[in-house]
Amino acid sequence: MLILGQFSGLVGYTPESSNAIAVFVEAFANVGNWNWWAVLTSVITFATMFLLRRTPLKLFASALALVAGTVVVFFGGLDSVQIVNDISEIPRGLPQFTLPNLQILSPQLIFSALGLAVVTAVQGIGVSQMAENPDGSPVDPSRDMVAQGAANVGAGLFPGFRWEDPSVPLH
């Protein structure tokens, strides 16, 4: 679903649909409206990533592919290719430390969060068992869960995710 929802961005088409499958179908049905510079940039980015995965640079393939796509857009003067800054402003610096808004806590929210945490933990353990560590050491699910938990706490204290509801003050 995630890939289907991103397809329209890869081809530079702005769909009217909101459902990931409908977005994909609409984008594919409107091939004549694709931004071919965006398509070229996407092809170069993916080709770079897949080619580098067969070299000693395979650990950096994804990052270098992003650099390749960025270089193509920047030096090619491809103003028609939508970049992150076109979608939303990128804030400068680190987010400020903020204590969570405890006014929004409710039993329903707490139980939902615990259920989500359990599902995420089980899913994380399953994924970690499918991949090996780059150095060949055995996977440690407990360590992975602690790291994931620390990242979630950090995202809560340094607004990594920002929920904005005008009726509820953030601080």
Q: pLDDT of 80-122, one tens digit each?
A: 666 655 556 666 777 778 887 788 889 998 999 899 888 888 8
Query: Where are the chain's structural domains?
Result: 2-87, 91-171
Task: Answer whether residue 51 shows pLDDT above 70.
Answer: yes
Written as one letter, the residue type at 146 is: V
**Residue 44 near residue 68 (C-beta atoms within 8 A):** yes
Measured between alpha carbons, how far is 65 from 60 in angstroms, rounded to an integer?
8
At residue 164, the pLDDT reads 55
Q: Give 7's Cβ-side CA count (13 Å radius).
A: 20
Nearest residue to 37 via CA among 2, 4, 69, 7: 69
Token digits for 147?
Answer: 């790291």
List of residues 6+ apart from 17 with CB closer than 8 A: 23, 25, 26
**Residue 44 near residue 69 (C-beta atoms within 8 A):** yes
Of the spans 2-11, 41-50, 127-136, 153-162, which averages the highest pLDDT? Answer: 41-50
Average pLDDT score over residue span 28-54: 86
**Residue 13 near residue 34 (C-beta atoms within 8 A):** yes
Measured between alpha carbons, how far is 28 from 60 in angstroms, rounded to an integer?
31
The structure's pTM equals 0.50
Task: Answer whether residue 168 shows pLDDT above 60.
Answer: no
